Amino acid sequence: MTHSLRLGVAGLGTVGASVVRMIARRADALFAATGREIRITAVSSRDRNRDRGLDLSGIQWFDDPVALARSGAVDCVVELIGGSEGPAKATVEAALASGKHVVTANKALLAHHGAALAKAAEAAGVALAFEASVAGGIPVVKALREGLPGNAVSRVYGILNGTCNYILSRMEREGLTFEACLKDAQALGYAEADPTFDVEGFDTAHKLAILTSLAFGTVVDAEGVSVEGISRVQPLDLRMADELGYRIKLLGVAQATAAGIEQRVHPTMVPKSSAIAQVMGVTNAVTVDADAVGELTLIGPGAGGEATASAVVADIADVAANMAAGRVRPTFGRPSAALRPAERVEMQRHEGGYYIRLTVHDRPGVAAGVATRMAEREISIESILQRRSENAAVNDPRGRSGQPVPLVLITYAATEGNIRAALDAIAADGLLAESPQLIRIERE
């Protein structure tokens, strides 16, 4: 008779509790799919007395998740505590050191310590699986790691943070400010009390670092991601984007360029016709550009207990199915020694189209002055929009009031270094009433 797979689940919060329920609910189907019974033999959480609505009878309780990780009654540790340091890291390290498989949903841990943990898993000959760490319920890790080996990937990008996409979707639809939408997101439980990690792009950066490694075979490098969040996006930018045929999304983008692999997180204008532009609310999406399949987009729930448990349980099923053959997939799709070192590409070298919103003094010659500075840096302008308030149009028909008015430019491909140099020159000319807004355009 085949040995069962004995799980130790560390963390019984939103995801952990859903995993416990799903393993029970899907027991027969999991047995049929993997040929092995999957049993939870141990759990750990901080508060033993909390009623979690779970039947934990016959399951050993550990106050210390590291002790659970070392327990002889566990073959696979499911780490659902969270955080890049502290108990989560100690638990995963202890599990790998004791020769146990690990399944985790912890993007922060993988982004910061993925390279070292992958080596430890290899040394122990065990799996370190992390499908749930990127885009929740979307099986994107599997798609990149196992579904595309015949392809050379040139770009992978996605909406990887539901909080940000919810905020931008509402700002666009209802013309509300960032601050108003953030408050609603907090009231609905989509955003944390301290939303910095989400809205300033760090959560997206962690997930992007993992995707980059899988897509390009490089060592995971979270510190190499250039990060900019959504807190400076204004309703006017969303209106202008709409008028110009775009939507604004917070994207994580990893792209192969002549200088190396760019890793960047920033508010991005995407054509309204693109698949990723259709993704609204808390939903996530990932697009892969690869030579054989072309463009592939996966869309689905990026968070929530059940959706995330779906990804965790998929990894557990993989471990169970592969156990008999003693087969273990390399953590990032290839052995650690075969991963290339990450190359960092400065944002200044990024080349692409730009949306630039200047707030200029309304007087003759300003647009021409801006255009001259752009031309000096060989930046070609694709379109230009100038808006005046209705009052100004009535009271100042010749446009000489000197009042601040928006001037919006869309550029053809230019380097960020040249764009910033041109903006510095425009500011030095005294043409700007406020600091400029700059949003990168990602074309299909």
Q: Which residue is nearest to ligand NAP (CB)?
A: 13
DSSP string, 203-233: HHHHHHHHHHHHHH-B---GGG-EE--STT-
Q: Which of 5, 8, 9, 11 binds ligand NAP (CB under 6 A)?
A: 11
Q: How many CA atoms lie within 13 A of 214 on its CB side?
A: 27
- Give the CA distances from residue 201 to residues 44, 206, 208, in Å, rounded to whole numbers and listed in that order: 31, 9, 10
Residue 207 a catalytic site member = yes
3-state helix, strand, coil in the chain (%, to 5): 40, 25, 35
Lateral strand order in the sheet of 76-79: 60-62, 38-44, 5-10, 76-79, 101-104, 128-129
Q: Which of 41, 71, 106, 415 binds ligand NAP (CB under 6 A)?
A: 106
Query: Could you tell me the smallest distance in angstroms from the CB atom of residue 98 to ligand NAP?
Result: 17
Q: Is 258 helix (H, G, I), strand (E, B) or coil?
A: coil
Closer to ligand NAP by CB, 14 or 98: give it: 14
Closer to ligand NAP by CB, 19 or 432: give it: 19
Q: Is 236 annotated as a binding residue?
A: no
- Give the CA distances from residue 193 to residues 149, 183, 189, 281, 401, in Å, rounded to whole numbers and listed in that order: 41, 9, 9, 19, 44
Q: Is 162 annotated as a binding residue?
A: no
Q: Is 12 annotated as a binding residue?
A: yes
Positive/negative CA dihedral, 141, 145, 149, 154: positive
Q: Does 80 bind ligand NAP (CB under 6 A)?
A: yes
> Which residues inside 121-150 make contact with ligand NAP, applying CB under 6 A?
132, 136
Binding span for ligand NAP by CB under 6 A among 69-77, 101-109, 117-125, 332-340? 101-109
User: Which tokens go with 309?
Assistant: 């448990």
Instruction: For residue 356, give the nearest of 410, 430, 421 by alpha carbon.
Output: 410
Q: Which of 87, 252, 300, 436 binds ligand NAP (CB under 6 A)?
A: 87
The site that binds ligand NAP (CB under 6 A) totals a number of residues, namely 25
Binding span for ligand NAP by CB under 6 A among 1-9, 29-37, 40-48, 398-406? 40-48
Binding span for ligand NAP by CB under 6 A among 103-111, 242-250, 254-262, 383-391? 103-111
- Give the CA distances from residue 160 to residues 53, 137, 366, in Å, rounded to whole numbers and listed in that order: 30, 12, 39
Whether the CB-CB separation of 375 and 384 falls below 8 Å is answered with no
Q: Does 82 bind ligand NAP (CB under 6 A)?
A: yes
Q: Strand locations in 123-220, DSSP E?
A: 128-129, 153-159
Binding span for ligand NAP by CB under 6 A among 29-37, 42-50, 148-156, 355-363? 42-50
Q: Is 15 annotated as a binding residue?
A: yes
- Give the CA distances from residue 290 to residues 88, 262, 274, in Å, rounded to whole numbers and listed in that order: 35, 16, 16
Q: Which of 34, 45, 165, 418 binds ligand NAP (CB under 6 A)?
A: 45
Binding span for ligand NAP by CB under 6 A among 9-17, 151-159, 216-224, 290-298? 9-17
Q: Does 14 bind ligand NAP (CB under 6 A)?
A: yes
Whether the CB-CB separation of 40 and 9 falls below 8 Å is answered with yes
> Which residues inside 298-317 make contact with ligand NAP, applying CB under 6 A?
303-304, 308
Q: Is 183 annotated as a binding residue?
A: no
Q: Does 163 bind ligand NAP (CB under 6 A)?
A: no
User: Which tokens go with 401?
Assistant: 């009031």
Q: Is 192 annotated as a binding residue?
A: yes
Question: Would you list which residues are annotated within the binding site for NADP(+)?
Answer: 10-17
Question: Would you list which residues are annotated within the binding site for NADPH?
Answer: 107
* Residues at the contact surface with ligand NAP, assessed by CB under 6 A: 10-16, 44-47, 50, 65, 80-82, 87, 105-107, 132, 136, 303-304, 308
